[in-house]
Amino acid sequence: MGEVSEFETEGDAADFSEARKADIHEILKYRAALRLSEKMLEGIPLCQRVICEAHKVLLSGVRGHNKAYNTWINDKNNKSCWE
């Protein structure tokens, strides 16, 4: 957690390897997704929309960004988050 705090303070000036920076960016995306979900849950119940929006945040601009963030996979079939 200290490295994440250091990165938030110093940004790209922090002396981290590219792999470590990628890890930190991923952690920051998880934080952003959690904050978004918490905010959405103040007004609506837990539903597919909340999950899809959090998933969209998680996959934006980090490893895995080329994955289909708009696809929700369940046991029976694939459904678009935007149906």
Q: Provide the domain count of the chain.
A: 1
Question: What is the spatial distance between Cα 42 and Cα 27, in angstroms, rounded to a whole number?
Answer: 23
The pair of structure tokens assigned to 13 is 């000036």
Q: Write out pLDDT tens, residues 59-69.
A: 787 555 665 65
Residue for token pair 């895995």: 64
pLDDT score of 20? 86
Distances (CA, A) of 48 to 4, 54, 68: 30, 10, 16
Query: Which residues constitute the domain of residue 51?
Result: 2-80
The pair of structure tokens assigned to 72 is 């929700």
pLDDT score of 67? 59
Question: What is the spatial distance between Cα 10 and Cα 27, in angstroms, rounded to a whole number?
Answer: 16
81 vs 12, residue with greater confidence: 12
